[in-house]
A and B are shown apart, each in its own frame.
Chain A
Amino acid sequence: MINVVTQAKLWYWQRLSAMVLALCVVSHLAMIVYASRGGLTAAEILARTRGNAPFAAFYSVFVAACAIHVPIGLKSIAVEWLRWRERSASIAAAIIALALLVMGFRAVYAIFV
């Protein structure tokens, strides 16, 4: 039986992160379309991102919101569609959250330094 308080908290964090992500994704989409014109080159990307603190701050928030939002969504899929037990799905979600945080911040760092 699922812990109702945990369920409610996950629901809340999923929605809160969704609100942050909605704003991030709109900016990100605009950036994607703008940057894609004429093809992408590393020089072009890095010229925009290296040493750009506001950019790094924005994408750090984006990564953190993803690391909250994605694992909760995947956990729902594991429980509802794959019939995983609540506990196994929660453990897997925590591992995915940590992996996304590490990989995401690594990516932001890689194009910032």
Chain B
Amino acid sequence: MMRNVGAHGHPAWWAFVAHRISGLLLAIFLPLHFWALGTALSGAAALDAFLHFAEQPVVKFAQWCLVVLLVVHLTGGVRLLLVEFRPWSGLRKDWIAGTLGMAAMIGLVYALALIV
């Protein structure tokens, strides 16, 4: 990274940063997600206790952030697969814009589902 300072600040570099940070945060979240679902082993009441905790606005907001991160990582990841496996047509910057668009769109849809 440090050796290639000239490559920073471009849309594709920001796409790399967004992909890496979203991936890292999702990786940290995943064990918590598995643990939360695992509470169902102690019965529905245990899972409900967790879901009740998840009703707090701060936790709901965190859930919303995770869904947006998932969309960012998904769309950015599909872009990488296209760059690497499809015939070369540049860095597919339309997909970088598309990543932002998808994150905004699914973010709004999910926000609506959480509020309603």
Contact = CB atoms under 8 A, between A and B. Distances in A.
B1 to A, nearest CB: 7
Main DSSP-derived SS at the B contact region: helix
Given A29-B71, A43-B44, A37 B116 contact: yes
B58 interface: no
Interface size class of B (residues with CB under 8 A): 35 or more
Interface of A: 15, 18-19, 21-22, 25-26, 28-29, 32-34, 36-43, 45-46, 66, 70, 73-74, 77, 80-81, 99-100, 103-104, 106-111
Interface of B: 1, 20, 23-24, 26-27, 30-31, 33-35, 37-41, 44-45, 47-48, 51, 54-55, 67, 70-71, 74, 77-78, 80-81, 84-85, 106, 109-110, 113-114, 116
